Amino acid sequence: METKKIKILVLGANGQLGQEFRYLASENQVLDFKFFGRDEVDICAEGDVHRIIDENKPNFVINCAAYTAVDKAEAEVDQCFAINRDACATITNVLNGKGIKLVHFSSDYVYNSYTGFPIKEDDNKNPQSVYATSKLEGENIIRASEVPALIIRTSWVVSSFGHNFVKTMKKLGAEREQLNVVNDQYGAPTYARHLAKSVLDIILKVTENPSLEPHFNDTYNYANEGLITWYDLASQVMKIAGLSCKVSPIPTTAYPTPASRPRWSVMSKQKIKHNFGIVIPHWYTALKECMDAMK
């Protein structure tokens, strides 16, 4: 007897994370994917979202769409809030009462508080930029809806797809002899492929075991294991890529940006590991895998 496939609809399909789901879809027989980029659907238009939901009747919607230009957001306030906050209202309005589960991604930027310990999901929220505020308000809209939703806060997302810090460092390292990189912001990268795999693993577990549904309808941290600075990450990129570019550490004060960045983004992943039995690789393993995929 043929197994009934789990139908998954992915929004924001052309970003880093969306492309990782597309990559994983090619090697998965149990899940039936439909992908939509911003050219195909306006997630702020209720009619657009209604149309694709009614046509595809998914079991899960994965929202990878996000406004992530953190510094630009300080000037493009309306655009940032439209995608990161208002679209959450549009999506939940459409999904309400349909029994469709939502997966949504948020950011370590919502915390921005220093405890000296890994940040837990219910620790204080202290958004210090337009981007951070828009992400937290989007989360709050989803939580206030009646749609069962898995919200995952990630940090420092990297991938072989799209634009990100690792790609930028690799490019600049090949062009320059020396680079200055901030060494007083602490966290860990999130390899988008590891995150996407974990999400699909959770979807399969929840589908097979409905008793996990209360765990699904919750908020979680996810990043690769370990603790580093941007300087450490850049140094490792040069080493793995075999580049002779010298990376020098500088304080955040020496590299002013329009938007404030959190100094402490070290997040506890105990909750997601405990509730779903997820195994999260170390950041060095993640970086090696990500750079191998770039080849």
What are 175-214's pLDDT values in tens digits?
Answer: 999 999 999 999 999 999 999 999 999 999 999 999 999 9
Is the pLDDT at 62 greater than 80? The verdict is yes
Please, which pLDDT band fits residue 27 given cuts at 50, 70 and 90?
confident
- Cα 217 to its chain centre, rounded Å, is 17
* 228, 283 contact by CB (below 8 A): yes
pTM, 2 dp: 0.96
Is the pLDDT at 19 greater than 50? The verdict is yes
- Cα 59 to its chain centre, rounded Å, is 21
Establish whether 131 is a catalytic residue. yes
* 58, 10 contact by CB (below 8 A): no
Please, which pLDDT band fits residue 3 given cuts at 50, 70 and 90?
low
Quick one: angle between helices 230-241 and 165-175, nearest 10? 60
Alpha carbon distance 240, 237 (integer Å):
5
Helix (H, G, I), strand (E, B) or coil at 222: strand
Q: What residue type is assigned to position 183 of the chain?
A: N
Is the pLDDT at 2 greater than 60? The verdict is no
CA angle 53, 19, 188 (to 5 degrees): 115
Q: Give the DSSP H or E segment for 186.
A: strand 186-187
Alpha carbon distance 216, 99 (integer Å):
13
Q: Given 3-state DSSP classes, what are the helix, strand and coil percentages for the chain, each rounded to the nearest 5? A: 45, 20, 35
Is the pLDDT at 1 greater than 60? The verdict is no
The residue extents of the domains of the chain are 6-163+190-224+266-280
DSSP per-residue codes, 25-84? HTT-SSEEEEEE-TTT--TT-HHHHHHHHHHH--SEEEE------TTGGGT-HHHHHIII
Q: 191 - beta bridge partners?
A: 158
Alpha carbon distance 237, 281 (integer Å):
17
Annotated catalytic residue, options 131, 191, 220, 222: 131
**Domain 6-163+190-224+266-280 listed as CATH 3.40.50.720:** yes
Alpha carbon distance 81, 159 (integer Å):
25
- Cα 246 to its chain centre, rounded Å, is 30
Token pair for 62: 């994965």
Is the pLDDT at 247 greater than 80? The verdict is yes
